Amino acid sequence: IMKWLLLLSLVALSQCLVTKVPLQKRKSLRQNLKEHGLLEDFLKKHPYNPASKYFPSLGDQFATEPLTNYMDIEYCGTISIGTPAQDFTVLFDTGSSNLWVPSVYCSSAACSNHNRFNPSASSTYQATNQNVSIQYGTGSMTGILGYDTVQVGGLVDTNQIFGLSETEPGSFLYYSPFDGILGLAYPSISSSGATPVFDNMMSEGLVSQDLFSVYLSSDDQSGSFVMFGGIDSSYYSGNLNWIPLSAESYWQITLDSITMNGQAIACSSGCQAIIDTGTSLLAGPTTGISNIDYYIGASNGAPSSLQVSCSAMSSLPEIIFNINGNAFPVPASAYILNAQSSGSCSSGFEGLNLPTASGELWILGDIFIRLYYAVFDRANNQVGLAPVA
């Protein structure tokens, strides 16, 4: 009997997979626009409040999703949809919950230079009569919902609901390095109530643990990944610090304070923070950001960014994010961004124009995640962080 039980358990284990999806650091939208001489004009015509991702009332009546600091999103991976498989480059976004890709029904300019899903070419596609609308800072993606097989790494996620775009906003997605977005936050913030990909993976028993982890490489080389169902301890040092979520919507936690040289410079009475792979910078309330920019000597420079002396990088102290009793330092080499093409440096902090009743909210984007291996644990509603190795 023991022999058969062992055999059955091995069969069960073989069906529960761990898969690592490589992420590529692509040329950002900001870089693309700059190379085409369009950046300054674009920023004038498209005023944008990154807080609209987290507060739909700042957008319009539609649910609000991606793209905080949409200009610098760079980490993308490949998935496939349909039978036979149609490939798409997507942003794996822990700050949203929907999967959507461009479709052949879309005639917007942004769809013309990206991969488009063709439902009639897939034998496993199932149509619905449901619409989906997702608001961005510069317009909205509208489309329809359908079901099909989605392959993410080695995991085959059957009967997955996803959005097929019919219209896409203005010019910013035209220059984006990705086709669509795969949201990894909780179902509670999913537009049209569509089941998120990871929820479907869990319910289908595709992952050996109900968690996924993210490693973002700090250089321009490959090596970044999102791992579904597992943790690769070779990518971090020490132990994971587990932080309970304060809300099960975004991956939201409580910050104790933000300090420099032992003094609180923001979030002095505690505040909320969201760990978001779909945001490249560190974002927070404009008052707190202004305070930090003062301390690091940032001043107005190019459109939408504050200039910092590149030489200050070696002398400025760490900024410490204190979370759940532990210190998570961010050194100047991480929070000062070096634009090698122009030789100038800028602040890695960005202001959020928040609703007055919302309290203090900070977004810990890729600048932070590049320093800390991040585990997103759905089984226990917690985030694990450890310094990258």
Q: How far apart are CA 344 and CA 157, in angstroms?
A: 45
Instruction: Kindly compute the dihedral angle of the four CA atoms of residues 167, 33, 112, 194, in this order, to the nearest 10 degrees.
Output: -40
Tell me the C-alpha to C-alpha distance, in Å, between residue 262 and each of 258, 318, 320, 328, 329: 9, 10, 9, 13, 12
**Phi, psi (rounded to 5 degrees) for 372:** -135, 120
Tokens 């005639």 -> residue: 107
pLDDT along the chain (389 residues), means of 10: 44 60 68 62 57 57 35 75 96 92 94 95 97 70 95 94 88 78 94 96 96 86 87 96 97 97 94 92 91 86 68 92 98 84 79 73 94 98 97
Q: How far apart are CA 217 and CA 194, in angstroms?
A: 31
Cβ atoms within 10 A of the Cβ of 104, count? 14
Closest CA relative to residue 60, chosen from 119, 111, 134, 7: 134
DSSP secondary structure code for residue 13 in this structure: H
Strand partners, 337: 346
Strand partners, 75: 25
Closest CA relative to residue 162, chosen from 150, 153, 177: 150
**Phi, psi (rounded to 5 degrees) for 84:** -70, 165
244, 331 contact by CB (below 8 A): no
Burial zone of 301 (CB within 10 Å; 0-12 exposed, 13-18 middle, 19+ buried): middle
SS3 357: helix
Tokens 């490249």 -> residue: 280
Tokens 């200009």 -> residue: 71
Which superfamily does 235-387 belong to?
Acid Proteases (2.40.70.10)
Look at residue 55 in the predicted model and tell me its pLDDT.
64
Residues near 238 by beta carbon (within 8 Å), at least 6 away in sequence: 386, 387
Look at residue 8 in the predicted model and tell me its pLDDT.
43
Tokens 């090596």 -> residue: 223
137, 42 contact by CB (below 8 A): no
86, 78 contact by CB (below 8 A): no
Which superfamily does 19-215 belong to?
Acid Proteases (2.40.70.10)
115, 89 contact by CB (below 8 A): yes
Cβ atoms within 10 A of the Cβ of 5, count? 9
Cβ atoms within 10 A of the Cβ of 295, count? 16
Tokens 């085409």 -> residue: 36
Query: Letter for the amino acid at 354?
Result: L
Distance from the first to the final alpha carbon of the chain:
44
Q: Which two tokens stand for residue 164?
A: 């097929």
Burial zone of 55 (CB within 10 Å; 0-12 exposed, 13-18 middle, 19+ buried): middle
| Pair type for strands 63-64 and 126-136 | parallel
Burial zone of 273 (CB within 10 Å; 0-12 exposed, 13-18 middle, 19+ buried): buried
102, 59 contact by CB (below 8 A): no
Look at residue 46 in the predicted model and tell me its pLDDT.
53
Q: How far apart are CA 354 and CA 286, in angstroms?
A: 8
Look at residue 23 in the predicted model and tell me its pLDDT.
84
Catalytic residues: 93, 276
- Equal CATH topology for 19-215 and 235-387: yes
Residue-range domain boundaries for the chain? 19-215, 235-387
Look at residue 281 in the predicted model and tell me its pLDDT.
87
Q: Residue 191: left if φ>0, alpha if ψ -120 to 50, beta else—which one?
A: beta
In angstroms and rounded to an integer, the radius of gyration of the C-alpha atoms of the chain is 21
